[in-house]
Amino acid sequence: MSLAYFKGKVVAITGGSDGIGLALTEKLLAAGAKVATCGRNQTKLYDLQVKFPGAPLLCVVADVSNYNDCRLFIESTLKQFEAIDILINNAGISMKALFADADVEVFRKIMDINFFGTLYCSKLALPSLIKQKGTIVGVSSIAGYRGLPGRSGYSASKFALTGWLEAIRVELEPDNVHVMWVCPGYTRSNIRNSALNENALEQGESPLDEKSLMSPEEVANHILIAVQKKKRTLVLTGKGKQALWMNKLFPALTDKMIRKFFFKDGKLVK
């Protein structure tokens, strides 16, 4: 499907320096969109800027868990491109720790980034999105429909995200602002390396074999088509869809299957 819809549109994407956000940024620039993005790591943003010399690309160092950083990101975008047509709230982190072992800081950090980061950016961009009759996208997860062990804080943040987006979708309908969320399944990216351990520190590496996972480029393609079609939600990967149906129809059996998938000899493995 052509991405001509995005030509000339201003798209603000949080976390565009890696993984799914990077793939979205690259595809949108190729489609003729003006793109603003942010992340915490200056080097990754610099590398991105250097990769697209002369492109309508704004890279801002900003941590979405900080309201003032979000203000800087959104205000710089408006200054540079004069409007925001589409806001893709993509920045996110995960965790790998059992609730019993994890410091409460793990949960606070994840909620601050995944939920409040989305809320801050959406709030700050809202006047322009209303003016443009634009679109707010939340990048959720299968874990936003089905709680996953070892990722209880991540699941909580994504459930909060989708509940909040569902509510504001109805509120913003008279303003013609479209609100949607997308749920990628397992996707090749850095998210498992940056996932927090029980001490709220990045775990650094993950045992999961990433080769068989969906590529971030394919995920980005699905997301952009869904944005174009103004879909309500998008659930990705066959396994992801299967898990949601199983959970709806046979929740107790799904508990057992999930336990088998995530634990080995009583230990959290995935």
Ligand X SMILES: NC(=O)c1ccc[n+]([C@@H]2O[C@H](COP(=O)([O-])OP(=O)(O)OC[C@H]3O[C@@H](n4cnc5c(N)ncnc54)[C@H](OP(=O)(O)O)[C@@H]3O)[C@@H](O)[C@H]2O)c1
Among 12, 24, 65, 102, binds ligand X (CB under 6 A): 65
Name the residue nearer to ligand X (CB basis): 21 or 153: 21
Catalytic residue among 120, 145, 154, 186: 154
**Measured CA angle at 138 (ends 54, 244), to 5 deg:** 135
Query: How far apart (Å, rounded) are the C-alpha atoms in residues 104 and 112?
Result: 12
CB neighbours (10 Å) of residue 197?
16
AA identity, residue 166: E
- Minimum distance of ligand X from residue 112's CB (angstroms): 8
User: Quick one: which segment of 47-55, 164-172, 185-193, 200-208 binds ligand X (CB under 6 A)?
Assistant: 185-193
Residue 195: strand, helix, or coil:
coil
Name the residue nearer to ligand X (CB basis): 80 or 190: 190
By CB under 6 A, residue 152 contacts ligand X:
no
Q: Across the chain, where does the E strand assignment appear?
A: 10-14, 34-39, 57-61, 86-89, 135-139, 178-183, 233-235, 263-264, 267-268
Query: How far apart (Å, rounded) are the C-alpha atoms in residues 263 and 270?
Result: 7
User: Quick one: which segment of 90-98, 167-175, 221-229, 257-265 binds ligand X (CB under 6 A)?
Assistant: 90-98
Q: Which of residues 102-121 bind ligand X (CB under 6 A)?
A: 113, 117
Name the residue nearer to ligand X (CB basis): 130 or 246: 246
Name the residue nearer to ligand X (CB basis): 177 or 191: 191
Residue bearing tokens 């322009």: 128
By CB under 6 A, residue 186 contacts ligand X:
yes
Are the C-beta atoms of residues 40 and 15 closer than 8 Å to each other? no
Residue 52: strand, helix, or coil:
coil
Q: Which of residues 20-59 bind ligand X (CB under 6 A)?
A: 20-21, 38-41, 44
Determine phi and psi for 85, rounding to 5 degrees: -90, -35
DSSP 146: S
Among 159, 187, 226, 243, binds ligand X (CB under 6 A): 187
Among 91, 121, 200, 243, binds ligand X (CB under 6 A): 91
Clarify whether 154 is annotated catalytic: yes
Catalytic residue annotation: 154
Q: Contact positions toward ligand X, by CB under 6 A?
A: 14-15, 17-21, 38-41, 44, 63-65, 90-93, 113, 117, 139, 141, 184, 186-187, 189-191, 194, 216
